[in-house]
């Protein structure tokens, strides 16, 4: 006749091991996400610092170029004519 087959019995130790493996995998994924987030933040910070250095260098070059034209020095005069002469000297550079 027909023989009935029973499903295999679960070994409680195997179920616990599988659960532990799932927990470890979930923790590994969490750790990887944290590492990627930290790397992304560090790269963003480095990129920002690089951009700031480049902007500072460009500003320094512009100031150096401006000074090569020997701009007139403003001495804080309150006489409108002297301030106007100073302004004309600056405008000639540009």
The predicted model gives 24-40 an average pLDDT of 98
Q: Cα separations (Å) of 69 from 52, 62, 63, 93?
A: 26, 11, 10, 7
The per-residue pLDDT for 20 is 93
The per-residue pLDDT for 9 is 66
The per-residue pLDDT for 67 is 92
- In this prediction, residue 17 has a pLDDT band, given cuts at 50, 70 and 90, of confident
The predicted model gives 22-46 an average pLDDT of 98
């Amino acid at each position: 006749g027909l023989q009935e087959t029973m499903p295999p019995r679960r070994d409680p130790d195997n179920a616990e091991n599988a659960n532990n493996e799932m927990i470890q995998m979930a923790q590994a994924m969490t750790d990887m996400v944290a590492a990627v987030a930290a790397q992304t933040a560090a790269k963003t910070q480095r990129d920002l610092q690089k951009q700031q250095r480049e902007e500072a260098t460009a500003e320094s070059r512009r100031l150096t170029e401006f000074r090569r034209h020997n701009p007139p020095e403003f001495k804080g005069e309150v006489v409108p004519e002297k301030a106007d002469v100073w302004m004309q000297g600056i405008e000639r550079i540009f």
